[in-house]
């Protein structure tokens, strides 16, 4: 085997042990010396395999303490209808939300263009944290066209769920129009909210939701904690 195949094969074995439940969340992996002995390779090769697993978010190294199995990433399906609460519930997790700020103000130029508003029309903006089982999964910044959704601020406060609040405002259904996904690093403030290290990797999603007739009802910027959640796309 080449060096590359070797560490990949070791990473694959450890990955399978984690996926198969042989090693559970929070378990400490054997030391580098123990893994070297088990696989009959040098420590450099073991280190490369562990680094690969760490990059995938399967394990975390804690300085001086060892390498531990990380909690599995939540999977969040991005498709024709994207619903955080329903997806988390379907995955057996308890969804939650904490609002950090909300206000109504004139739309910026970019917001007006995407939401198809006239310049200066009012948008309602909410910033908050989306939770699963109490753990912060994402920071969201959502922009709503207030003129199309009278009563939205009150409905959001009452219902918690965006889907239900929109329903209360006369939007019984909404569909995802477009999603743009990039990777960014957590700023210190974002890291504090998301309980990750500053500089941790985030998935930034810029998305537009509209009524089935194509009238935009939400422009959302969401920063997902890369180590806790993965976006899944089903193309079938």
The partner residues of 201 in beta bridges, in order of sequence, read: 185
When computed from its CA atoms, the radius of gyration of the chain, rounded to whole angstroms, is 21
Figure out which of the listed residues 51, 61, 72, 168 binds its own copies, where binding follows CB under 8 A.
Answer: 51
Backbone angles phi, psi at 16, to 5 degrees: -65, -35
Figure out which of the listed residues 65, 92, 120, 233 binds its own copies, where binding follows CB under 8 A.
Answer: 233
Contact between 232 and its own copies (CB under 8 A)? yes
Planar angle of CA 209, 212, 216, nearest 5 degrees? 35
Rounded Cα distance, 111 and 89, in Å = 31
Backbone angles phi, psi at 225, to 5 degrees: -70, 110
Contact between 184 and its own copies (CB under 8 A)? yes
To the nearest 10°, the Cα dihedral for 111, 114, 116, 121? Answer: 0
Figure out which of the listed residues 159, 164, 176, 191 binds its own copies, where binding follows CB under 8 A.
Answer: 176
Q: How many residues bind its own copies (CB under 8 A)?
A: 55
Contact between 73 and its own copies (CB under 8 A)? yes
Q: Tell me the three state secondary structure of residue 21.
A: coil
CB 165 within 8 A of CB 158: yes
Figure out which of the listed residues 79, 147, 153, 160 binds its own copies, where binding follows CB under 8 A.
Answer: 79
Q: How far is the CB of 164 from its own copies (least distance, A)?
A: 22
Per-residue binding string, its own copies, 133-172, x by CB under 8 A, is ----------------------------------------
Contact between 173 and its own copies (CB under 8 A)? no
Figure out which of the listed residues 14, 35, 36, 57 binds its own copies, where binding follows CB under 8 A.
Answer: 57
- The single residue listed with the structure tokens 């002995």 is 37
To the nearest 10°, the Cα dihedral for 149, 173, 158, 118? Answer: -20
Positions touching its own copies (CB under 8 A) are 1-2, 4-5, 9, 12, 15-16, 19, 51-52, 55-57, 73, 75, 78-80, 101, 103, 105, 108-110, 127, 175-185, 187, 190, 199-204, 224, 226, 229-236
């Amino acid at each position: 085997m080449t060096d590359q195949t070797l560490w990949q094969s070791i990473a694959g074995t450890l990955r399978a042990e984690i996926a198969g439940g042989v090693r559970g969340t929070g378990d400490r992996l054997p030391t580098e010396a123990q893994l070297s002995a088990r696989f009959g390779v040098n420590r450099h090769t073991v280190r490369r395999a562990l680094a690969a697993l760490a990059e995938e978010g399967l394990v975390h190294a804690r300085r001086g303490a060892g390498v531990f199995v990380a909690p599995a990433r939540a999977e969040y399906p991005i498709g024709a209808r994207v619903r955080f609460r329903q997806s988390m519930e379907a995955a057996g997790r308890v969804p939650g939300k904490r609002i950090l700020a909300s206000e109504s103000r004139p739309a910026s130029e970019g917001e007006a263009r995407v939401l198809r508003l006239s310049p200066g029309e009012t948008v309602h903006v909410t910033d908050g944290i989306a939770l699963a089982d109490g753990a912060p999964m994402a920071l969201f910044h959502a922009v709503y066209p207030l003129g199309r959704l009278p009563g939205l601020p009150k409905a959001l406060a009452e219902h918690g769920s965006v889907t239900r609040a929109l329903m209360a405002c006369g939007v019984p259904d909404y569909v995802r129009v477009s999603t743009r996904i990039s990777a960014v690093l957590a700023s210190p403030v974002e890291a504090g909210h998301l309980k990750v290290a500053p500089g941790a990797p985030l998935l930034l999603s810029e998305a537009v939701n509209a009524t089935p007739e194509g009238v935009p009802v939400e422009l959302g910027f969401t920063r997902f904690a890369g180590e806790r959640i993965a976006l899944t796309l089903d193309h079938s």
